[in-house]
Amino acid sequence: MRQSVGQLVKRSPAPVSKSAQNNKGAIAQIIKGMQVGENPTPNLFISNITAWGGATKRFRLVYDGITAKRTQLPASKVIVTGPDGYRQVAQLVASKLNRVVGRTIAFYRIQAPGGSWGAEDNGNYVINLRRTNAGNLKLGQFKVRINARDQDGTPSLPTPTPVSY
């Protein structure tokens, strides 16, 4: 059935899965004093790292169904782990609140291991939301895939092995 222009259509909410119901409780446990919608789910937005340099990596978490002030967001509960024992608490640097659509966007930053991203940092990095009693909630991951290069930026070549005839 077609709706005329300007007529609002109310849709039934999609059924909520068990994992989403569990996440709702987990998020409510982490973010105190917020208004929680029917199905709050943090969505991770991050890109992979494929180039040398840069001291930090920024990413954002979009909390749909949640309206929270910056002071209510989990500033010390977003943990990033990676190769060689890398573990860092992500720093909350900014947030945007949209009460109309019930969404909070939180912007986070982590420091590169050793001060800048390089081939030695290659691997998978996992972003978790630390929960009080129920373990961590995995939000997603990003990859560092940087080609080995010399410091001047030229590709590294393997050292030739002498051959005797």
CA torsion sign for 139, 19, 17, 124 is: positive
* Domain locations in the chain as residue ranges: 37-144
pLDDT per residue as tens digits for the range 69-118: 666 676 678 999 999 999 999 999 998 888 777 788 889 999 999 999 99
Reported pTM: 0.66
C-alpha radius of gyration, the chain, whole number:
21
The CATH number for 37-144, chosen from 2.60.40, 3.30.70, 3.40.50, 1.10.3470, is 2.60.40
Whether 79 contacts 88, CB under 8 Å: yes
